[in-house]
Amino acid sequence: MIKSDQGAKDMPTMRELSRWIRDYGHNPRHLSRLMSNRFIWHQLWTATDIIDDVESAMTAYVENEFPSDLGEKYLRVYGAMQGLFIQQDALRDLIKAIHPARAIVLTDVLKDIRDARHASVGHPTKLNRKGALSAHGIVQNSIRKDGFDLLSYPEKDGKMFQHVPVLELIEKQRAEAVRILSEVVEDLREQERAHREQFREIKLRAVFDGVSYAFEKIFEEVRPGSTFIMGSWGVGHLQKSLDDFETLLKDRGLSIDMYDSIEYFYDEIKHPLTELTKYIKREPSEISSRKSAVVFTDALQGHFDSLRDIAGELDEDYASAPDPVVQSVHPEVQMTFTTTVIGKKGSSG
């Protein structure tokens, strides 16, 4: 069981679990696997949205006043039973997408909920269970917030009544969904912890340890009055540090293009480093003077400093434990959107 870091409760909520899964799924290390199948990628987030949306619907059902109008009563119980059903499907598809090694097994509680949905809302006029046909109808005057009675007509056994306790089913499914998602998240956190432990002592920042000395030697050659001594070694060392950094990322299942910031600096470095290398090796280059060479070198040094900082941040991430499920939540920012309808002017908040 996952313990809340806040200590206020033992089990996380459904929303806390789905928020953790969203963060996990958008972590660059997992993007390559999850996005390798575009349908699975979109299915994952559709399923996560549906789980949250149904949770909102169930909360509304539980907390709001139950209507007195008969039609509204039917809409509420139809919606609640159908919502529980699609949430189960979403839970199954979410787990299959993000943690395929752990298949969801429907417990008797979840199966009972599905059976109640099929009979009352899904296929009431003709329900086929392993060849046994039956018809069902909600007893109109029995509909209450806590549930309703279902009159069933099995093909061979006459008629029978059963009570469908809607509020109880909501709470039971909520508990089962939290339990299942908690076990999945715990598995994923353990996998992430083991991965970080494997690479914790291999520091990405270390590949840039000799960069400052390399720039020192490059500056000695490009400044006026200097002679060509170790500049060639210096630009070679810069390229080697980039290659080594890329290799260490690949060892961790990462790549340059998984991080926008890293990809940006690699793109910014490529051209000036190429031209500076040509200049120092006395090959034709866009750099036409020592002053221009100093400008190129200054720009490169700034980019390498930024890469070194990013590498340090990744090292800190690997030195820490995976994020807990329950985290502090920043206050929501209220936003107002203006909607323009063709032929009209208006706004909605």
Which pLDDT band, with edges at 50, 70 and 90, does 227 fall under?
A: low
Number of structural domains in the chain: 2
Question: Which range among 112-116, 235-239, 259-263, 344-348 shows the weakest confidence by mean pLDDT?
Answer: 344-348
pLDDT at 225: 63
pLDDT in tens, 158-188: 788 999 999 999 999 999 999 999 999 999 9
pLDDT in tens, 250-272: 999 999 999 999 999 999 999 99
pLDDT at 107: 83
Q: Are residues 179 and 64 in the same domain?
A: yes
Q: Are residues 175 and 262 in the same domain?
A: no
pLDDT at 131: 83
Exposed, middle or buried: residue 293 (CB in 10 Å: 0-12, 13-18, 19+)?
Answer: buried
Question: Which range among 155-164, 195-204, 205-214, 236-245 shows the weakest confidence by mean pLDDT?
Answer: 155-164
pLDDT at 14: 93
Query: What's 348's DSSP letter?
Result: B
Q: Are residues 108 and 56 in the same domain?
A: yes
Q: Are residues 175 and 37 in the same domain?
A: yes
Across 20-38, average pLDDT: 91
Indicate whether 281 belongs to any domain. yes
Among 178, 195, 212, which residue terminates a domain? 195
User: 12 in the Ramachandran plot: left (φ > 0), alpha (ψ -120 to 50) or beta?
Assistant: beta
Integer Cα distance of 177 and 86 in angstroms? 12
> What are the structure tokens assigned to 98, written together?
């993000």
Q: Are residues 315 and 271 in the same domain?
A: yes
> What are the structure tokens assigned to 152, written together?
């069933």
Higher-confidence residue of 156 and 305: namely 305
Integer Cα distance of 125 and 152 in angstroms? 10
Q: Are residues 256 and 298 in the same domain?
A: yes
Q: Are residues 224 and 264 in the same domain?
A: yes
Residues paired with residue 134 on neighbouring β-strands, in sequence order? 127, 154
Q: Which residue has the tokens 């839970």?
A: 91
pLDDT in tens, 301-330: 999 999 999 999 999 999 999 988 875 444
Q: Are residues 247 and 102 in the same domain?
A: no
Which pLDDT band, with edges at 50, 70 and 90, does 8 fall under?
A: very low
Q: Are residues 190 and 236 in the same domain?
A: no
Mean pLDDT of the chain: 88
Indicate whether 80 belongs to any domain. yes
Indicate whether 137 belongs to any domain. no
pLDDT at 226: 62
SS3 157: coil
Across 119-134, average pLDDT: 91
pLDDT at 152: 92
Pair 149, 137: CB distance under 8 Å? no
pLDDT at 7: 41
Domain region containing 298: 202-319
Indicate whether 131 belongs to any domain. no
